[in-house]
Every structure is written in C-alpha cells, then in structure tokens.
Structure 1
C-alpha cells in the first residue's frame, strides 16, 4: 500500500533520487551534498524527457528509481520539450497524485506552475539563505534538522547556488532560452576535472554562430558554484585581453601599482600560486588567434575555458571540445521557445532550412514569431532568393543565412533605419569589439547627416541599439550594466558573420562617406607618440581596424601618419609579423596612390625596414635603405634629416650583414651630422650615439662602447625619464658592456634592477624585456650563480619561441646561450640538438661567410669535443677560427676566444706545440685589445700554462699560472667560479654569444 512506504529518515536504507533539469545542476549538487552529510544515499538523475515519449510514461519511469524521488521544480523543468501546462497537469494527476509519499519537491521559481504540481508539496527555496533552504529541504524529506557535529577534517562543500563566487566579473547574463548541449557541458566539465595538476584548459571550438559563447556562459552558471573566482575576459585582441585580465588584480586584493603591466604580472602569479584562491575559472571569449595570446593563458590550480573558431588551440596544451550545430531535437526545442506560435513540425522545417545553426535560429525565429509570415512562405522566400544582390554568397555560410539576413536587414530598415546606418558604419571597423566611442568623440560637423543625428541623440542611439540587440545582431560590451546605462558605453560587439553581410547592401556614396568617417575617427584617436609605452594599449586597440577601414587608400595626411605610427608601435612592441604585413601592403598601395618618390614613401620605407630587420632580413632591408639613401642624398643633400635617418638604418643593415667596419664608418658620420644639426641632447642624436656604440661593441671595442652607452644612458635618464623604453634599452646596453669587460658584479646589479622595470613597463613578453632578462641570465652565469642563470635561460627562450617563433634572430640568440649553458651544466643531448638548429638557422639567414655562423660553429665544436668526437670538433674549430679571423680580424675578442678553444683541441689531437704557440699569441693580442686582466686574457693565460705543461715547460707554466691566478683573485675574487676552476686546473673555454646588431 502507498501509505506503508517509509519516509527518508526512518529506519532502514535511506536513498533519494534527485530529478533535475540540467539548467539546475548546481542546485542538485548542493542538495545532494547536504543530504549526503546526513548519511543519505543520493542518486542524481537529469530530467530530459524525449519529445516523442508521452509525459506520463517519462514520469512513470521516475518511479523505477531507488528510494524517494525529489523533484527540483523550476521554469526549466517544465519547459524541456516543451510541454503545455495541460499536458503536465494530466501527467501529474495520473502518476504523482496516486502515490504522494514517493515524491517530494523543492521549488526554485516564482513563476506560475501547472496547478497539479501541488501534489508534490514543494518546499519553497526562493529568496532564502543557505541555512533556511537546508532546513526547509530537511523538513520536507522528514529528516532531522539538528546541527551536525563538526567533522574532524573540514570538507568544503559546493557553494550555495544562490550565492555568487567571491570574485565574479564580466560574465554575460544567463541566456534563459539556452537549449540542450547537455553532453557538451558534461564533456567540458569532465575534461576540466580530469586535467590534473596545472590549469585545466578546454577550448570550445566551432564555426561562427554555433553558440560557443552561450555554451561557455551556461557552463559558468551551472558549475560556477564550484569556484571562488569566475572572470570572463574578451580575448579577440591581445591588448584588451591583457587589460581585462589585469583588472582582476584589485578584485583579488593584490597590492600593485597603477601600471597594467605590473597588475597583469601580479594576477598571473596569483593564479599560478592559487593564492588567495585556488578554485578559479577564467573564460577567454573569442580567442580566434591562439598565437596572439596563448603565452598569456594562466597556469595554476584553476581552470581555463576558451571559446574559439580555431582548432589550433590543441597545439597549445588545450583539450578541444568541438561545438557542432544543434541536433534537430535541440533546434526544434529552441525554435519553439523562441517562437511559441510555431508547432513542432513548423519548427522542424525552419530548423532544416537554417541548417540547425543556433545563431540563425535565434535571429530568425524571434522575428517570425512577431510577423504574420508563415514558415512555408518564409521557406519559399528562402528558395526563391529575396534580394540576392544585397548579400554576398559565401561557401562558409549556407544560402539560408544570406537570405535570412536580407529579410532581417529589410525589417530593420522599415523599423529603425538608423540601426542599419550604425551597422554599416561598424562594418568599416574590424569584426568583434567595435570602439564606437571613437565615433561619438568626433565633432558633429565632421559626421554625415544621418550618422550625426544617430550619434548625438541619446534616445535615437538607444533605440537603434535596442533594435540590434533584439535580433542578436550586436551586443553591448558592458555585460552587467542595465541597458540604459550600457547603451552609452564605449564599444559594441558585432559577430563576424554579421559583419560580413551588412556592408554589401550599400550605395557607393554611402560607402565612401562611412569609410571616410571611420578613417578620420581612427586618425583622431591616434595618440601620436608610439614610443610612449603608456599609449600602447591605445595603439593595440586601433591597429586591428586599419585593414577594414582601408586606410591605405586614403590620401589624408592624418590617416597616413596613423599608419606610420602604428608601424612604429608594432616594431617597438614586438608585433613584427603583423607589422610586416601592414608594411608590405602599404608600400604597394602608396606607391600606386602617391608615387614612388613621394616623401611619405621614405617615411614608410624606414618603418618597414625596421620591421624586416627585426626578423633578420638584413639583405632585404639593405636594398630598401640603400635606395632611400641614394635618392635622398641626391635630392636633398647629405645633411638632410631624412637622409641621415635612412643612413642610420643602412648602418644597422650593414651590422646585421656582418660588415662591421662599414657600419662603424657610417654610424660615426651620421652621429657627427646629427650633433652638428641638432646638438648633443636631441633624441635623434642620442639614438645615433646608441647605434655607434653597437657598432663599436660588434668590433670588440667594449670600453669605447661602454663610454658612449654611459653618456647615452645619463642623457636619456635626464631628458626621457627612468622608465622610458629607450632609457631602459640603454641600461641593458650599458650592463652588457660592463659584463663584456669582466665587471660582472656591476653589470649584474644594473641589469637586475633594469629587468624588473622592463617587466613592469613593457610587459614580460616584449622583445626588449626578453633581451634584458637574457642579459641578466648571462650576468648571473658569469657571476657564478648557475641556478638563477639556468631558470632564466630556459624561461626566456621558451617565451621568445612562443612570441616570436623559432627562426627569429632573438630566439636564435637566446638558443645559443641556452645551448652553451646546457653543454656545461645540464643535458649534452639537449645542448647538441639546440646548437644544430642554431647553426643551421644562422646559415640560412646570414650565409656561410657571416661571423655568427663561425661563432656558433665554434660553440658546436665544444659539444662534439664533450661527446668524444674530437677529430670532427678539431676540424670544425679550425674552420671557425679561420672564418672569424677573415671576418673580424685576429685581434677581435671573438677570434681570440675561438683560438683558446682551438688550442685545447690541438692538444687533444696530438699537436701540443701548435697549441702552446697559439695561446702565446692570443695572450699578446688579448692584452693589447682588452688588457692584461680582462677575463678573456686571463683565460688565455691559464690555457697557455696548461699548454706549456703539455710541452714539458713546467717551470714556465708554473710562473704563468701563478701570475694568472693572482690576477684572477684580484680581478674577480678568490672564490669566483672562474678563479676556483682555474685553481683546480680546469682548462677554460670560451662561448660565442651572438649579440644584438
């Protein structure tokens, strides 16, 4: 008999089956935890009855569950299907009413429910706190409500679902029409849970319009109670991503300065350590270009959820979860909730016509619901093709999408035509986040009439935005503000698919008018100082829009200046590849537009050459700069400032090509000319002075380079400030010279402080920061701190490979250092693999005769020596020594260092007399070039003592060695690693360090 069933809480087995809609998973989890703490066995059963199965049968299946059935009543529980209230009332009366003790319920909604739900006797959990909700739950199930004793080990349970995580930001409002996707949600949850140590990363990927963002948002709401921190970040642009992630710092209570680089570093460090919160979820929305941001994806004990169109996230330690179009059942359910007037058969036909793409279903079903057009008529219009000329048919999107958009655009024209004007204006920005504030900041007199009225009339603006949002055409970037507050916000988000459509149905006059407005808006937003790192976020926001506004076809001087400034920003910030693409297109477009010899062409060629030079294309840049130098010298004379700028660039090309004497000569007269024209303190003079020091360093004239760099550093500190990026670059240059002169402690002290400021001002991954940290690694290494050096070498190389690629000159420079360190202190096999890639890379980039090729071959020879391949090592070293002698002369420090290594190999292959003669000659040359107590000279003296012992001149060897040991102790200290090693008679070696050119 039904009345004899035991209630939960009576003696005997205690089991409760919780029936819940997937939307309410967090509540099911919390209720289950509350019951399990009181010894109840809990079974979770998601409620998702098939549409084709009668509701009575699905409810009856619940009675097959173990124990009592606890139903979580919500709007979602009844909407699945969806079913009418009449259907529910019939089923509840037939199945639940006859057996009331078998069922219980809690209610999470204040909406009107089917009348027969009274049979469930639901406990109301709306608008109450966790303690009261638990009490009401227990009373409803007949369980004791006495407080439980404190457990020996505290086990934190899931958060009460009505409470948000401690830190919550940027998350879009929950989509109450979200449909299906249960398998995807479960798969995503399981993938994150199974990720193990380190941050679990899952990328939801699929074509535009499949609902990746909606799926991520639903994941947040379903599982957000398991996290202490939930932070949603737009990730379609690197600069915006960095900014939004940095904004998490104050929310975490981190004590940082105002610079967002410092805040970003603090946030990533806090997430990595899991302090103050280890349960965190970061959502990166719209990360379609993994190469732009994957190096900034946090690691640590939390989870990262990514939405992207790009499956290449699998190459960046991410688990991929593909988001397909809806299943037909999901499409039908979604359409019927979006357009209740449609019956299941009509919804099915519409879903088929739109190929189950969620975005299209959302945009068309709502409109159909408000119109009197039948589905059959609509589908007939699709097949007939309304206004095919207004949209571009693309293989990427079905015809249905194009036609649906033509209908929607016509609807918008008829209701709020200003919304279409706004859409079309936005189509000349890049898709994604569109900074409409740039338009609103323009003077009204500079705007076309229809746009001027729209942007300067708040009521009209709000009306247009509301109309676009109604059809999911755009969304406001300010997710959590009310519409009235957000509508005046800074940016709108336009989906890529929308963006591709709206620009086509436009007259040529409107197109020219609108694109001109966007170009002038971008030009007006140009901060004008790309060298100022504080303004880089502004440039990062502007640069993606240049292509879409077709700025390269503009003859407006302000727009052309914007292009040049963006190229300069890309060069300084390390966005080399994107800058080169822009530079290539600009060179082609401007030569056609304004002519080969227009002054703007020489400005452009200067910036373009800088970018090419940064990736090692020195032959290409030499051709560009030499053409500029020849033309400008002929047309304007040698004292012309633009001619001098081009000549300075040509000197840099010559340095890259290994033609150091020519570079020095050119650098010298460029500096002299600048001093005569502009004086000693002008920034261009200081830049030329900096470049002359680089030429001197490449020739091994370290003391002269040091003196020039010291003067440049002092002047830049005075005129530019301590934190200007050029001042910071001078610090690295000066510290490098100190290190190369053997003043290791001085170099380390300066570079340690400078690297820290680099990270704060420029960010961790800026090429200039990487250079500073690499020099810091070398300073630690030369000072004897191998532990710190090892960590830095590895970190800098990994970051540079991620940011710039394996073939970048900076990456190869860092790889050369890592290989040398690994050879002596880590893994010889790793050292060899890296070294082979470095030698091949320089050979391909620079050619057989370049000194970098000889220098890295000399390094590789030491690896061959260490693995026992002595003959090959000897041959390679002798070749490298001859090549360096030919390239830079026998007195150059590189040649002298290579000779020290070659003498060791001569001993190993049985030629001690030649070895001793070589180190004797090296001592003489090194003393003349660097001085008697320079570390390289001291290494030659220690090596010569060993060579003298090899030819049995022990007395002379003893004298040379003792004198050298005394000078080592005096110069570097008695306990320095070089001194200790020499005292132990470990033969010194020399590493070639490819320098910056």
Structure 2
C-alpha cells in the first residue's frame, strides 16, 4: 500500500493522447511543467492484437498520475467496439480512478464509455487562460513542487485554437485521417535533429497513396510549434514562384507590386528567419525536381516536399517512402469513413481495393450513403460491369482504382449530375491546383448545356462542389484574400481522378469540354509579357495549356496566348520550361498545320530565342536561317516576322564569335525597321540595341555608347524607367561607360540599376544576374577588389544554382570570378575554375572563338603567378596570334593580350621584343581607344618598364610621367591602378566575356 501511495503522490504525470490531438498534448504538457509536474508523453496507439484491457493496464505501470486527453480519436483508434471499451474501462479505470484524470478536447460529446474517467473537464472552445485554469482544477500544482506558472512564455507551444501568425494555402484538416503515426513522428524527429538550412524532408510514394494528406496532418499536429505555415502547389515552377511571391504581404514585407521584388524579399526573409525563425513550407506535388530545386527555401525553418520522383535524393533532402496502408490502418479508416461497415467487411473491402488510401476514401464515402452491401460492391468491382467503355489504363495506376472510380462516378451522375459535369470540365485543366477564377471564367456561350447557369448560381455551384468534396473526388481551398486579392479559391484534382475522368469521356465530350477550357484560358490571357506585374497571372495559365488541348487548337487566340506564354517564360528566365513548351507545341503544330506552315516557323523563331539563352548558338543559327528562308517565301524578306528572325540570326552569329557578320546583319535589320516602322517603334529600338551590342563586341565602344544612350532615353519615354527593356538599355549604357574607362560614372548607374532589377525582376532573374555581374566589375575597376571578390563569389554560386554550370551567363561570371581569385592569391581556386571554364568554352564554342582564346589568356596569367613562366609565355604568344587572327590587331582584346605578352617577354629576358610589342600596343591603342583610356595608359606603364630594361631611362621617364598624369586625371591619385603604376608594379589585362 505504501508503494502505491508513493506512486500516486509522485510529481510525475503521463499525458496519454491520440496522435491526432498531439498539439493539445504539447500545450497541456507545457502548462503542467510550469506548475511543477514532470511530464511524460505517451501516444495512444495500441496494436490491434493487444486486448484493450491489457493496453490500459500498461498505463498503470508508469509512476504518478495519468492524464488522458479524450476525443473521439482516442476511442476509435483501431477497430475497437463500444462494448470492448465499456468492459476495459470498468475493469481497469474504475478500480484505479485515483490514478486517472481526463480532459476532453473534442467539440462533440464524448461516448458514454468516457464516464468511467469520472468528471471530464472540457477544454474545447474556450480561451487559453480559462483552459489553463480548468487544467489546474483537474490536477493542481505538483506535490512538493514549486509552481513557475506563467502564461505564454517564449518558445512555448501555441494554444491549439490559436493559428500561427502566417497561415496560407493549407488544406482543411482531414478529420478522417488514420494511421501514418510512424511517418509523422519520423519527419518530426528528422526536423528536430536538422541543422539550420538542412530541414528538408521528401515524402515519396505512388499516386493516390496519401502523401498530401500526411503533409497536411503534419501541419495540424505540429503547427503549434511554428509561427508561419505556407502551403505551395509545386508541380510547376511558375506556380511555385507565384505562391512564394504571395508570401511577401503575409510576412509584412514592404515591397512594390512587382513580382520579382516580392520573390526576392521572401527569399531573404526566410533565409534570415526574420520576422519568423519557426517557419514551415510544404511543396506539394513536386514531381519534377529539375525546374524547381533551386526554389526550395533555405533557412532556420523546415520544408516538406511531396513527390513521386526519387531524384529529390540528389537535392539535399531526406527521402521517406510512403507505402499503401497496412491492413489495420485500412480497416480503421474505412470504419471511420463509413461507420455502418463492420470490421470483417472493411477488411474484405480493403483487400479488394489494394489498401490504396485514395480508393478507400472515395469508395467508403459513397458506400456510407448507399444501400449496397460490401459483398455486392466487391462483386461489381470484380466483374467490371460498371466500367466505362473504352477506358485506358495507365501502367502506373492500379486497374482496381479505375473500376472503383467508374462505379462512384456513375452513382454520382444519378444523384448530382451537375457535379459530374463540373468535374469533367476540371479534367481539361491540368491536374493539381486549378484557380476557380479560371473555371468560372469560361464564357457562358462555351459552356456545355449541362453547366449552363451553374457558374453564376452560387447555390447550385456550392451544391456541386460540396458533393465532390464529400466523396473526396476533389479538394477545395477557400480564397486567401490577404495574400492574393484576386484569389477566389482553388479546386484540387488528384492526378488519378484527372486521368480517369478524361479517359472515360467520349471524343465528342472531350472536344466540348476542351474547347470550353481553352476559351477560359484565352479570356485570361494577361497580355504584355514584358510587364513583370502580370507574371503571376501568366504563372496560373501556363500549367493548363497542355491539358486544355491548346497546343492542337486552330484558334488564333490560342496561338497568341502560347506566344505570350513563351515570351513570359523567356523574360522570367524560365528557359527550360519555355523550351519544353515550344517543343511540344512545335510537334503538335506540325501535325495539325503541316511542317511548312508559317505559324510553325514563327514558333521556331520563338524556340530559337529560348535556346539561344542556353548557349546553343549553332542550333539556333540553323533554325533562324530556315525560318528566314521559309517565311521569306511565304511572306516577304521585309516582313516583320522575317526581320525578327534576322535579329535572332545576328545574335546567333555574335554567340559564335562572328562579330563582323553579326554587325552586317544587325545594321541591315536596323535600316529596314527604320524605313518600315520609324525611329521610335519598339522594334527599331530593339534593332538599335542589337546593333550597339555588335559594335561593342568589335571594340567600337564610343559608337556603342552613343547608340545605347539614345535607346535608353527612347525606351524610358516609350515604356517606363522600370520596364525590363529600359533596364536592359540602362545596363548596356553603364557597360559601355565602363569599357571606355569611365568607371565612376558606370558605378553610379549600376548601383541604382541593380537595386531596381532586384525589385522588379527578382534576384534570380538572368537579367538581374547580368546586372549584378556588371556592378561587380564596376566595383573592381573602381579599385575595391575585396568587395568585388565577395560579390562575384556569391554571384557565381547563385548563377550555378539558378542557371546551371554551362549557361553562357554562368560561364561569364565564372571567368570573372577566376581572375579575381587569382588577384587575391587563391591560385588553386583560380586555376581550377579557370581551367573548367576554358574547357567548356573550347567544347561549346571551339578552339578559336574569342571567348576560348580569352579564357586561355587568363589561364596564362595563372601559370605566370604560379611560377610556370615559360609555359605561360608560350601560351600567351599563341593567344595573341589567335586573337589577332580572329578580331584583328587593333581590337581592345588583342591589345590587352599584347600588354600581357610584352610583360611575359620581359620576364623571360626578351626585353627588345617586349619594347617592340609595347610600342606597337600603345600606338594601336591610342588610335582605337584614345590616349586617356586605362588600357592605353597601362600599356604606357608597361612600355616604361621595358624601356628601363634597355636603359632608355629618359624616354622611360617621359612615358611613365604621361601615363601617371593620365591615370591621376582619369581615375584619381588614390585609385589602385594609379598607386600600382606609381610603385612601378607592371599592369596586366584580364579577359572578360561580353554577352549580347
């Protein structure tokens, strides 16, 4: 008796709870600890084979009191009957009432069996203070312990009725959720062990297995430990970016309306953990890691991914495989979904449906309302007599599911036919998230007769939606006006439901519903893809083009929509998604219109634009020449679409280093546009932009500057200063200034321009990365080498993540980063990075492309710094000959290599050869760039060094004095170049690729 008294009066309490009520248990435990109790948690989930009275008696083995958190879930875990509970409670709880206490957290009255716990205290539906007061009335302070009760302490679990500060897109809780306890606990434990930035878990499993339901249940069970929870449909990159951008106002971030600005601000806030460190983001349906892996948030919070793709293992995430239910879970779920079905029948039904959660949910849902017995249903399922004729079964979907869903659909058609018609309409959007504004945006004249009037009748609409939700055919998310005022709700259609509905439709019905959805997409065309404020609307449309049949449509409005979407994807930097869409559309149009239709060649030109951004210049040249030839025959060589393809050809030639050819093409296009549409037309301005790029690549920096200055002013007037085209001209104008040696002016332009790029287009947009590269080079040329080093290192990491290692832009950043690493003495890093870049240029562009030659020049400087001077000189001499052959003796790049070559000759004792080359370099530099250009002044500093080597001291002093005077007047007396020249440190030249 004394031992029993000691156990009763121990300050320990065991909180026994069903997993569904985990949030309540965590809050209750926290409150009890503040009143001196030592709390032990015990999740109630006894195995089915363990008798209920034995499981309850095991609770008595613990020391101290036992507090049971009661809800319907506590009693219904596993297929236990009320009779079993009554017997177990009478035999175990009643004789030990002094050990047990209970609180109810359920909205519904407790089953009669709960009376065995004595007076049960209600906690549901009251505030946190009252709940705490009632909890203390149940147990009171711990025996002999000092109370430290304070309400709402920092880091405490949130009161379960209080939602996290930020909450968006999370599906409603599935009150029938069953099982998966080990999976939920595994994910929770993984997150608790994870270091900041590494808390990413992927739920991996086949379609219909319940990955989304598990993720949603995790949110509700553990959501009290987070300050922010955000749910994101992640099947499309555009949709993912859109939903992340919508998080900005929810976080209270001060941003403008631009899409990119919001996306940047959200990424920074999550990374810093400001304003919330405890955040959870769910990326649902992320079945293709490639396009979206770089968008997975990083920081102190946690990320859950649901996917069917095992490739997520390669993207810094822990995989957890989700299988079908085990049989006990299946039976428990069926009995909760359809209480009239006894355990034996539930077992048989689960076996017939292969324990697949989606099939169990839908089938048990309608069987609960049906008079059909389980045995009759299984016979119907086995015979397949209710299966729609012509149904095609995908290899990765169980045949059983198709049969079960067809039976459900036929029964639903008998009771609420409008719901079936609405579902058929949804089947011609893409599976997953469907914005309601698109569904209800179908023009009335295009709606099938069965849906006439449904869209404008709220009662009929709600009735149809409710029935589909009731039978788990769709999931419905209510509007989230705070984060997206345009959102009128979202319908979620599971991929298996989507395919089954489509496959069961006749060809006539397929065309009817497909046409209706296409009309909705056409009506939703945002127009003007260059307007970044419209990108979020494009992101909602793009995922549905394929499913709607838009790619095979003959409608001119659909063609325009596809072209707009491709332009949006290009401008947003979504090159891979755009190329895939262009290729699918091209295949479809070739079949529909024939391979020689002008529309096919218009599309080919658009595809070439996307491919060119990835560096496929030879491929795009072939495409553009074919487009010019075919469209020139169908239309005219002066047709605007033909001229657009010629613009592309000019860029193709530039990309291959054929700058003279590119200049001729761009000049011809510009002259033609000027004649056809006038000086102020956007097409003329774009042609002048391309002409300036050709001039710049040929080293005619003054002419490029004049053209870009004109374009900048014209684009700002025609569009707006923050327009993407205006920002592009602003970048090029600053680039010209920098190449002319006007570093301070260039830096002042780019500092503001980069901020605007980030706000308007986002940090990860390729145009923003290009602008940041120019800014870093302005910083470097202005003399702040340490800041440039930091900027370029961070930029390279971002470019590789966003664009990949082989992107032309990434290669340019890597080249600049390499020579800055060398300047900082990091020779191993500089060599590895430079050699990798040099090899990629050689493989992609050829041995004699100016970029390949330039990267070899940089490599020669690394060799020199490493003490390999002879090998360095041999390589640099080769580079001088190759660049001279490629671009001529007077090109600035050739002059830069000559500067380095003269230094190499001097080091190896060929002083006379060095003087000869230095004199020629200065002479050519003055003729091409003028006496005040930094490259010319650096060549003079080098010449002075060589002259001193020949003991021509008087001439050397004169040349040196002229160079120093020029550097001081142009760059200032304290600039790094001036200080080095004054110290007689011989200058060198670094090659920087210039992108068009």
Sort the TM-score into its range (normalised by shorter chain).
over 0.9
Partner of 2:432: 432
Query: CA separation in 2, counterparts of 1:477 and 1:39?
Result: 43
Query: CA separation in 2, counterparts of 1:149 and 1:143?
Result: 10
Query: CA separation in 2, counterparts of 1:90 and 1:592?
Result: 72
After superposition, the C-alpha distances for 1:577-631 in whole angstroms (9 at most, x for unaligned) are 2222232333343344334554323422321221122222222222222233344
Sort the Cα spacing of 1:458 and 1:296 in 2 relative to 1 into closer, same or farther, 3 A. same
Q: Does 1:132 align with 2:147?
A: no
Contact 2:262 2:762 in 1 (8 A): no
Contact 2:79 2:343 in 1 (8 A): no
- Per the TM alignment, residue 713 of structure 1 is displaced from its structure 2 partner at its CA by 0.2
Kindly indicate whether structure 1 or structure 2 has the higher relative contact order, using CA contacts under 8 Å at least 6 residues apart.
2
Once the two structures are overlaid, the 10-residue window that deviates more, 873-882 or 91-100, is: 873-882
Matched residue SS, 2:324: coil
Q: Does 1:605 align with 2:604?
A: yes
Contact 1:648 1:670 in 2 (8 A): yes
Partner of 2:343: 344
Q: Does 1:209 align with 2:208?
A: yes
- Per the TM alignment, residue 155 of structure 1 is displaced from its structure 2 partner at its CA by 5.6
Matched residue SS, 2:503: coil
Contact 1:88 1:114 in 2 (8 A): no
- Per the TM alignment, residue 973 of structure 1 is displaced from its structure 2 partner at its CA by 0.8
Contact 2:256 2:759 in 1 (8 A): no
Once the two structures are overlaid, the 10-residue window that deviates more, 181-190 or 295-304, is: 295-304
Partner of 1:231: 230
Partner of 2:408: 408
- Per the TM alignment, residue 70 of structure 1 is displaced from its structure 2 partner at its CA by 1.6
> Which residues of 2 match residues 259-338 of structure 1 at below 5 A?
259-338=258-337
Sort the Cα spacing of 1:629 and 1:276 in 2 relative to 1 into closer, same or farther, 3 A. closer
Query: CA separation in 1, counterparts of 2:337 and 2:588?
Result: 48
Sort the Cα spacing of 1:385 and 1:793 in 2 relative to 1 into closer, same or farther, 3 A. same
Q: Does 1:805 align with 2:820?
A: no
**Gapped runs of 5+ residues in structure 1?**
none
Contact 1:700 1:893 in 2 (8 A): yes
Among 112, 122, 127, the alignment partner of 2:109 is: 112
Sort the Cα spacing of 1:139 and 1:639 in 2 relative to 1 into closer, same or farther, 3 A. closer
Contact 2:880 2:898 in 1 (8 A): yes
Q: Does 1:18 align with 2:15?
A: yes
Sort the Cα spacing of 1:344 and 1:953 in 2 relative to 1 into closer, same or farther, 3 A. farther
Sort the Cα spacing of 1:90 and 1:766 in 2 relative to 1 into closer, same or farther, 3 A. same
Q: Does 1:912 align with 2:932?
A: no
> Which residues of 2 match residues 723-802 of structure 1 at below 5 A?
723-802=722-801
Q: Does 1:28 align with 2:25?
A: yes
Query: CA separation in 1, counterparts of 2:455 and 2:753?
Result: 46
Sort the Cα spacing of 1:862 and 1:468 in 2 relative to 1 into closer, same or farther, 3 A. same
Query: CA separation in 2, counterparts of 1:313 and 1:911?
Result: 58
- Per the TM alignment, residue 445 of structure 1 is displaced from its structure 2 partner at its CA by 2.1
Matched residue SS, 2:974: coil
- Per the TM alignment, residue 869 of structure 1 is displaced from its structure 2 partner at its CA by 2.9
Q: Does 1:84 align with 2:72?
A: no
> Which residues of 2 match residues 488-503 of structure 1 at below 5 A?
489-503=488-502
Q: Does 1:45 align with 2:32?
A: no
Q: Does 1:656 align with 2:655?
A: yes
Q: Does 1:869 align with 2:868?
A: yes
- Per the TM alignment, residue 711 of structure 1 is displaced from its structure 2 partner at its CA by 0.3
Contact 1:230 1:282 in 2 (8 A): yes
- Per the TM alignment, residue 687 of structure 1 is displaced from its structure 2 partner at its CA by 0.7
Partner of 1:466: 466
- Per the TM alignment, residue 116 of structure 1 is displaced from its structure 2 partner at its CA by 4.6
Matched residue SS, 1:715: helix
Contact 2:11 2:142 in 1 (8 A): no
Query: CA separation in 2, counterparts of 1:985 and 1:404?
Result: 85
Query: CA separation in 2, counterparts of 1:15 and 1:633?
Result: 87
Query: CA separation in 2, counterparts of 1:443 and 1:173?
Result: 30
Query: CA separation in 1, counterparts of 2:619 and 2:661?
Result: 17
Contact 2:179 2:329 in 1 (8 A): yes
After superposition, the C-alpha distances for 1:735-771 in whole angstroms (9 at most, x for unaligned) are 1001111111111111111111111111221111111
After superposition, the C-alpha distances for 1:943-981 in whole angstroms (9 at most, x for unaligned) are 222223334434433332232122111111111111122
- Per the TM alignment, residue 493 of structure 1 is displaced from its structure 2 partner at its CA by 1.2
Query: CA separation in 2, counterparts of 1:488 and 1:937?
Result: 60
After superposition, the C-alpha distances for 1:144-191 in whole angstroms (9 at most, x for unaligned) are 79994689x976422222322233232222211111111111111111
Once the two structures are overlaid, the 10-residue window that deviates more, 619-628 or 239-248, is: 239-248
- Per the TM alignment, residue 873 of structure 1 is displaced from its structure 2 partner at its CA by 2.4
- Per the TM alignment, residue 465 of structure 1 is displaced from its structure 2 partner at its CA by 1.7
> Which residues of 2 match residues 631-670 of structure 1 at below 5 A?
631-633=630-632, 636-670=635-669
Contact 1:2 1:99 in 2 (8 A): no
Once the two structures are overlaid, the 10-residue window that deviates more, 606-615 or 244-253, is: 244-253
- Per the TM alignment, residue 870 of structure 1 is displaced from its structure 2 partner at its CA by 2.8
Q: How many residues align?
A: 990
Query: CA separation in 2, counterparts of 1:116 and 1:424?
Result: 46
After superposition, the C-alpha distances for 1:542-575 in whole angstroms (9 at most, x for unaligned) are 2222222232322221122222222222222222
Query: CA separation in 2, counterparts of 1:808 and 1:4?
Result: 74
- Per the TM alignment, residue 778 of structure 1 is displaced from its structure 2 partner at its CA by 1.0
Partner of 2:940: 941
Matched residue SS, 2:806: coil
Partner of 1:423: 423
Matched residue SS, 2:848: coil
- Per the TM alignment, residue 330 of structure 1 is displaced from its structure 2 partner at its CA by 1.3
- Per the TM alignment, residue 705 of structure 1 is displaced from its structure 2 partner at its CA by 0.2
Once the two structures are overlaid, the 10-residue window that deviates more, 250-259 or 355-364, is: 250-259
Once the two structures are overlaid, the 10-residue window that deviates more, 967-976 or 905-914, is: 905-914
- Per the TM alignment, residue 683 of structure 1 is displaced from its structure 2 partner at its CA by 0.8
> Which residues of 2 match residues 651-690 of structure 1 at below 5 A?
651-690=650-689
- Per the TM alignment, residue 804 of structure 1 is displaced from its structure 2 partner at its CA by 2.2
Partner of 1:395: 395
Sort the Cα spacing of 1:154 and 1:690 in 2 relative to 1 into closer, same or farther, 3 A. same
> Which residues of 2 match residues 438-477 of structure 1 at below 5 A?
438-477=438-477
Sort the Cα spacing of 1:26 and 1:755 in 2 relative to 1 into closer, same or farther, 3 A. same
Partner of 1:162: 161
Once the two structures are overlaid, the 10-residue window that deviates more, 634-643 or 303-312, is: 634-643
Partner of 2:194: 195
Q: Normalising to structure 2: TM-score of the pair? A: 0.95
